[in-house]
Structure 1
């Protein structure tokens, strides 16, 4: 059985969570035993951040868009109420305009060997045109710049002082490409991921203007509030980050109005074929958007169980709803706030993998969604935590033996396979995306070795301290962007130890 497993693992793809065959074997090897409840000692938990950010303390987006089905074009306007949270006066504000990365085949964010899967019917361009940018004082000059023209620089009339607000109005047109990825359309769905101009993060190092890498999830954003009005054919059902507050009929179209507060991004998926099944857990509405009847109950139950388990381990999911949506998405799964994309083929072909991916993407609601981080510079911080959270789901739901077998046959086997292919010294987990040599290296280090680090930390500190760390880290940095140093400080505070050597050894490859 092990020889067979490693023959399969040797062929694994360099694509995020494209692991259908691998996980099938791993899950089949996993013996399910009754739940083994983890003992969480709540008396040590200190809540740092119980206050939800006030509406006037975060950026606000108001987007009004119309989708033209035949042309696969969206026309829209966006009003951004932007707050200068930096300590310096700002002369300009920068936005990511990710759709421009899809304009040329040479710039799309897919590895060369993935192009055929991403563009099943051949390449066609996608892009965003910025028609105008204005303020209350009139037109603003702007510049399309950066790698693949994916940055919009807006020059202000007057310098924006710290904590001062300004309103910017952007008129745009978007062409949706025929791509089975975060942004694009296929035979069943239209995926609106990373589609609108979104303000770049400015911090102590300045503006974060990193490009759209083909490796990992190259995004970094602040918590914001959204009101999105989407007009499209009434034939479509629309899943969204936002809570639906109004749905109106206008001729042959529906006008959907969504609102979402304190979220890091805003995504949507539209389909004419969607069916919906819904349930509730702890007052949270759980929805599954699906095509095949036999997969509906499975996807809904996994999402529901994931929310329930993670609520108990990390802290309560702070939103009213969570949606899992089948999608034309060849990569496997992708997280957005309150909404995750799942490859629709997995619903029909691999239910064991369907469970694993839904659990992983649900875990991202805590690690990336509520507690944010720079996914370009410190990808391990959300991905490793989420990968280990997936193991905790199996531990809580099926028992410790199930989790241990999953850890051995997925994490350790995947990492050792990478080492057999590419033995490197001083393996560095904590580095920028563009410093990884391949998606294979990224997955082996960020996911697998990152999860190994967390397992080691758990063994070193003990269960009581480890689970206290997860709760305190979530409480302290909810609605903020955290760093590796922040996570380390929480660990040291809980266990009252200096952990520099452990962190440097595992994350920076020091003295390995």
Structure 2
């Protein structure tokens, strides 16, 4: 009888699983893509009220609406040609229907259409849950952005689906976090949830997405991909009729690289970097808990973009001069590190971006040192630290400043990323590498699947009472 439960016990365990109360929010999304730039979708959200107050309203981010028209665009004027290499293009998300447990509810948009407010008919008490159903339509702009599509040749298209669906905002301290999309940096601040997303696409399209691929089938000239994963922070994808793939494994984790056929060299290089970075970070920070990780050549002018179990890398990185320099490798190693710092240990990326970016950039530096020794470390310092030192010394901005206070992306990168990495270098040099890794493993174990604030991080470090980590140390950096 090995592997089989007695019938009565088996039935009771199944019944228990069916009637088990959900512990966190669960998204179930079904979408159909037309092969160009339109998507129709239905989303069922099992909302779990983990606050201490009855919830009468729910708020969602509608990130695609930054493309609603020219006046909504958050970008600086000097970046517009990078976002829109073929001229300004519009798009957005239209809410078609909203229901709670099958009953229609009132809804409205606010914050320049970047947020959705649902007025619930039945308040959700603490510890209780409710099913929210939304129907929506997406128009994707022709943009070199994490939400956008680009053409490659006459009929080849790659679509980046980042920050694309109504994402429930965070409710904390008695209020909803509804910050608007910044001009640069990352816009999201979200809770760990469970996801199942089913894509119906034209039969010649490949879908790379967050989660693990649960199924792929063909029907009526279309292909259906189903991805799902428990306990991830949000969900993204890239869709293309121009993808080839390469696969590998490290520490039992399946790695898949998606790339355009003309960029094979970059596609295989990406696979190699991800494999080595995963190995370094698994050993150093704690085991990556998911079975799969995907990296896709897509559209995002700023370089790479992290999502849980999924990395989006700009197509330009797959070509020279980025391949023969350390640029592609640094970007990829950085995005892999985000699987620990942001995807698993979350934070407010708009108001406290240093919390994940500083540690992620240090992780990239650590990757170069562990993979290539002293030469790798020197290469990183030459290309990143030395190149940004004058800006670091000349800027009045602090590492812990919110995104909106930085003048441009270059200043933001120098202070939040590079100076942030130097803070961790100083910490490592002060307490020693062994204690540094013990600290990072402890930090990861303590805040995995949670959100952490800057003050919580500092207090956590102070409680370790490491020699040399005193008020003078913190004053020097913060």
TM-score (ref. length: structure 2): 0.90
- Are 2:289 and 1:315 equivalent residues in the alignment? no
* Cα offsets for 1:282-319 (capped at 9, x unmatched): 11001111122223321111110000000000000010
State the alpha-carbon separation in 2 of the partners of residues 316 and 495 from structure 1. 26
Answer whether contact 2:431 2:466 (CA < 8 A) is retained.
Answer: no
Answer whether contact 1:418 1:440 (CA < 8 A) is retained.
Answer: no
Task: Give the match's secondary structure for 1:312.
Answer: helix
The count of corresponding residues between Structure 1 and Structure 2 is 448
- Are 2:408 and 1:438 equivalent residues in the alignment? yes
Q: Which one of 243, 252, 258 corresponds to residue 221 of structure 2? A: 252
- Are 2:333 and 1:368 equivalent residues in the alignment? no
Answer whether contact 1:371 1:482 (CA < 8 A) is retained.
Answer: yes
Answer whether contact 2:189 2:350 (CA < 8 A) is retained.
Answer: yes
Task: Give the match's secondary structure for 2:71.
Answer: coil
Match of 2:16 in 1: none
- Are 2:250 and 1:281 equivalent residues in the alignment? yes
TM-score (ref. length: structure 1): 0.84
Point out where structure 1 has 5 or more consecutive residues left out of the alignment: 1-53, 508-512
Which structure 2 residues correspond to residues 43-62 of structure 1 after superposition, within 5 A?
56-62=22-28
Match of 1:334 in 2: 305
Match of 1:268 in 2: 237
- Are 2:206 and 1:237 equivalent residues in the alignment? yes
State the alpha-carbon separation in 1 of the partners of residues 471 and 21 from structure 2. 38
Residue 59 of structure 1: CA displacement?
0.4
Larger RCO (CA under 8 A, 6+ residues apart): 1
State the alpha-carbon separation in 2 of the partners of residues 402 and 275 from structure 1. 30
- Are 2:87 and 1:122 equivalent residues in the alignment? yes
- Are 2:144 and 1:180 equivalent residues in the alignment? yes
Match of 1:43 in 2: none
Match of 1:64 in 2: 30
Residue 487 of structure 1: CA displacement?
2.0
- Are 2:119 and 1:155 equivalent residues in the alignment? yes
State the alpha-carbon separation in 2 of the partners of residues 115 and 424 from structure 1. 25
Point out where structure 2 has 5 or more consecutive residues left out of the alignment: 1-19, 152-156
Answer whether contact 2:365 2:380 (CA < 8 A) is retained.
Answer: yes
Which structure 2 residues correspond to residues 2-401 of structure 1 after superposition, within 5 A?
56-70=22-36, 72-136=37-101, 138-146=103-111, 148-187=112-151, 188-204=157-173, 206-291=175-260, 292-349=263-320, 350-351=322-323, 352-401=326-375
Task: Give the match's secondary structure for 1:368.
Answer: coil
Task: Give the match's secondary structure for 1:261.
Answer: strand
Residue 412 of structure 1: CA displacement?
4.0
Match of 2:434 in 1: 464
RMSD: 1.7
* Cα offsets for 1:433-477 (capped at 9, x unmatched): 222232232112101211121112222222222111111001110
Q: In the superposition, relative to structure 1, how do residues 466 and 159 fare at CA in structure 2: closer, same or farther (>3 Å)?
A: same
- Are 2:446 and 1:476 equivalent residues in the alignment? yes
Answer whether contact 1:465 1:495 (CA < 8 A) is retained.
Answer: no
Task: Give the match's secondary structure for 1:184.
Answer: strand
Runs of 4+ in 1 over 4 A off after TM superposition: none
Answer whether contact 1:412 1:448 (CA < 8 A) is retained.
Answer: no
State the alpha-carbon separation in 1 of the partners of residues 69 and 282 from structure 2. 43
State the alpha-carbon separation in 2 of the partners of residues 315 and 299 from structure 1. 22
State the alpha-carbon separation in 2 of the partners of residues 218 and 109 from structure 1. 11
Residue 243 of structure 1: CA displacement?
1.2
Answer whether contact 2:395 2:411 (CA < 8 A) is retained.
Answer: no
